[in-house]
A and B are shown apart, each in its own frame.
Chain A
Amino acid sequence: MTAALFFEQLLNGMQFGVTLFLMAAGLTLVFGVMGLINLAHGSLYMIGAFACAAVAAATGSFWLGLVASIVAAAFAGAIIEVSVIRRLYDRDHLDQVLATFALILIISEGCRFVFGSFPLFLDVPAILAGPVILPGGLPYPIYRLSIIVVGGLVALGLYLLIAKTRLGIRIRAGEADREMIAALGVDIRTLYTIVFALGAGLAGFAGAMVGALQSVQVGMGEPVLILAFVVIVIGGIGSIKGALIASILVGVVDTLGRVSLPSMFGLFMDPSAASSIGSSISSMLIYVLMAVVLIFKPEGLVSQNG
């Protein structure tokens, strides 16, 4: 592998990692504050992508679509929280898994009913189409680069929100001791709805951005959801910092593994066997990474109180 190819794949991995972070941040926030495991988080990702595709098709503007994706997903998240999720905070994890699995079935079939089974396509806006020449002469798609930048900005914004604002203080207090902040007069029900909607909005935003790279279709959120689970298991459940480190790690390891393993096996095997074995092994690589982390740090890289 040449240095240029390596660098390009490293950027692809980071772009993948950044979108994973947008998903994992919401999941880990909801778990940290409310103690809830939400399988339907992937559905919110899908809602964001569909909202973006529908609005972009109707108005011709990708930017309006992007705004719509955040609004639609956050709004859907708030509705789901008030109608269903709120009843699950006191339940055990099994009930949470089942109820949110039921939500996936409902939202996926509902989406298929409205939009049909055929994938929608979302075009990259003209200003972000085409490559940019990176220092060193390497051409790289502007759109992917902007995802990395935007994702980095969102991570920074999330950090500032949680570390510096009053809402952030309440969120952190909610993680530390729920009864106590309720006793101090914080409206905990509204706080929960806001946190859930915030996570949902991030997921929807991620869905819209990825929607322009892939196709927008029912079920697109599920593989990402499971990778986001892997990310927060590696990073440590409840830790945003852990989620950021782990998503970049997972994104880069997965992308580089898929590119390099087949050629590495090719050094001592015939090419066709090498490519099939290499691709099978590389599809398992991040789960192996998760297993290794579990053996040495069962609580994840960044433990919840760290």
Chain B
Amino acid sequence: MASLSRESILNIFLTLAMVALPFVATAIDEPFYITLATRVAILGLAGVGLNLALGTGGLVSFGHAAFFGVGGYAAGILASHALNYTPIMESPFLIEGTNQMLIIWLVAIIASGIVAYLIGLLSLRTSGVYFIMITLAFAQMLYYFAISWPAYGGEDGLSIYVRNAFLGVNTLAPHGFYFICLGLLFGGIFLSATLKNSRFGAALQSARQNEERLSAVGVRPFNIKLTAFVISGMMTGLAGALFADLNRFVSPSMLSWHMSGEIMILVILGGVGRLYGPLAGAIIYILFEFIFGGMTEHWQFFLGLVLLGVVLFARGGVIGLIAGRARHD
């Protein structure tokens, strides 16, 4: 045990704290904290997705709201058809809505994966500033599409009146839904740890550090980066589906560039490239919003100041501050 780094100790602490939280919240009779923690878990998962592209792959995507929103709309559209007993499509074959989370997740993951593949295919032809602007622009394209497409609520968004079902779990109880989200968050963290330590992860990290060297050993950087971008988008899309279920509401604001900024901010606040960075960042972000948002409606002013301070003076985020510089690059 003596060989555990400070970062690992912090990670274990965060894991235990997240598992213990609902029991503490119930004990002190503050069930609202469970809802806050559910938001933490969901945004954390979205951040874990972005962190794979951003931290491990060095792909500065400013358009991850696209995948978050596509996941959310996948959930919203399937659920609203199931509630209204109307099929999504009758010809050439019948597709019906569903309220089963497992199917919704699968659809959300596939849909956001396809969108990530298409956006990645075009935007990964470029790099640097072009990549940032193009991912931003394509996400914005979907945002305007969602606003002007009247079938699913347009600008007003789409309500899901009853939370969807997951096997035998009571998803309407805050506990039940929280542990589903937490389980998926840890699943996402586990997946990125596995990927990062695999051959694929090694190739992805060298794509970030030196593309020429990677091509020299016979691996095409484009394919590696595209694969990472698609997996990243799928995780964020799954988070979007959960977010829709949490709020029982989907709206174009899930696709807006503020959402992309929010996901990116929490990855940065926690620490880019750190396994638990997105979770730590989500905790800080939600706490900040909860505490300052309760005091003043201008809380984003202070968020801006904090973010500016972190970027200018505290690179490495909170985990970097606590655990010191661990990355060698």
- Cβ contact of B133, chosen from A87, A94, A98, A233, cutoff 8 A: A233
Q: For residue B260, which residue of chain A has the nearest CB?
A: A101
Does the CB pair A105–B307 fall under 8 Å?
Answer: yes
* B134: A residues at CB distance < 8 A: 233, 290, 294
Does the CB pair A94–B145 fall under 8 Å?
Answer: no
Q: For residue A98, which residue of chain B has the nearest CB?
A: B311
Q: Complex Cα distance A206/B304, Å?
A: 25
Interface status of B308 (Cβ within 8 A of chain A): yes
Contacts A103-B308, A226-B257, A284-B141 given: A98-B265 contact, CB under 8 Å? yes
- Cβ contact of A105, chosen from B60, B148, B300, cutoff 8 A: B300
Q: Which B147-163 residues have a C-beta within 8 angstroms of A?
A: 147-151
Does the CB pair A294–B126 fall under 8 Å?
Answer: yes
* A112: B residues at CB distance < 8 A: 298
Query: How many A-B Cβ pairs are below 8 Å?
Result: 112
Q: Which B101-131 residues have a C-beta within 8 angstroms of A?
A: 122-123, 125-126, 128-130
- Closest chain-B Cβ to A296's Cβ sits at a distance in Å of 11
Does the CB pair B137–A226 fall under 8 Å?
Answer: yes
* A222: B residues at CB distance < 8 A: 257
- Cβ contact of A93, chosen from B128, B140, B312, cutoff 8 A: B128
Flag B152-181 by CB within 8 Å of A: 1 or 0 each. 000000000000000000000000000000
Interface status of A150 (Cβ within 8 A of chain B): no
Flag A274-306 by CB within 8 Å of B: 1 or 0 each. 001001100110010011001100100000000
Does the CB pair A109–B133 fall under 8 Å?
Answer: no
* B300: A residues at CB distance < 8 A: 105, 108-109
Q: Complex Cα distance A287/B305, Å?
A: 33
Does the CB pair B145–A280 fall under 8 Å?
Answer: yes
Does the CB pair A109–B298 fall under 8 Å?
Answer: yes
Does the CB pair B303–A105 fall under 8 Å?
Answer: yes
Other than the given A280-B149, A283-B147, 16 more pairs (CB < 8 A) read A37-B129, A87-B312, A94-B54, A97-B264, A106-B304, A222-B257, A230-B133, A230-B137, A237-B130, A280-B145, A284-B145, A287-B140, A291-B138, A294-B126, A294-B134, A298-B125
